[in-house]
Amino acid sequence: MGSHAICPGSFDPVTNGHLDIIRRAASLFEKVTVVVTENPMKHPAFSVEQRIDFIRRITKSVPNVSVDSHCGLLAEYTKSHEVTAIVKGLRAVSDFEYELQQATFNHKFDPGVDTVFLTARAEYMGLSSSAVKQIAYFGGEISDLVPGEILEDVKAGLGLMK
Ligand code: ADP
């Protein structure tokens, strides 16, 4: 069995910081699936279909990356798809506390999976989907925060003029 990693997250919307982690995961593992997680307790700005479409478009040139979605415990996904690693990006100590808890639970429910942390590159350290939404809401420029291929659709989806 080859190495199969997943990059899970809300990706609401996907940012340049996410893309950097996905690309780096793709160079470390044979197969990478980006898993858009559906959280019924969150109210996303973009539908799961839109979020999947955005990720497909920006990863088109990376052959070993595919995109999927999942609602429920992540361990159910990892067990049923023979996933060997969960790749997460770490930006700050605050990310670490939360991610450590998630990694512990994921391993408890699927002992066959390990979590691998990639540290955020300096230029993406302060970048998050919520920052993109907040900046766009107040009329700020987001062109250097999200990939160019999806920029106009992200702006339109956030209610900004095309
Ligand atoms: P969630 O809603 O589950 O926190 P996100 O979509 O916000 O999911 O993020 C998914 C993953 O990408 C997380 O591991 C997060 O730490 C990582 N990530 C988010 N933004 C960045 C960034 N700018 N640089 C590196 N990793 C990031």
pLDDT at 74 over 90: yes
Find the 1 Cα to ligand 1 centroid distance in Å: 28
Ligand 1 atom closest to the CA of 10, numbered from 1: 6
| Whole-angstrom distance, CA of residue 113 vs CA of residue 78 | 7
Q: Which of 139, 136, 143 is nearest to 157 (CA)?
A: 136
More confident residue, 9 or 159: 9
Q: In the numeric block, which tokens belong to residue 158?
A: 């956030």
pLDDT at res. 162: 46
Mean pLDDT, rounded, of the chain: 94
The H or E element that residue 159 is part of is: none
pLDDT at res. 1: 62
Q: What is the pLDDT of residues 105-159, one digit of tens each?
A: 999 999 999 999 999 999 999 999 999 999 998 889 999 999 999 999 999 998 8
Q: What is the pLDDT of residues 10-23, one digit of tens each?
A: 999 999 999 999 99
| Whole-angstrom distance, CA of residue 46 vs CA of residue 155 | 11
Write the DSSP symbol of residue 150: G
User: Model pTM?
Assistant: 0.94
Q: In the numeric block, which tokens belong to residue 152?
A: 């106009």
Nearest CA to ligand 1 atom 26: 89
For 72, the 3-state DSSP assignment is coil
Q: Which of 37, 69, 91, 117 to mutate to test the pocket of ligand 1 (most atoms within 8 A of CB)?
A: 91
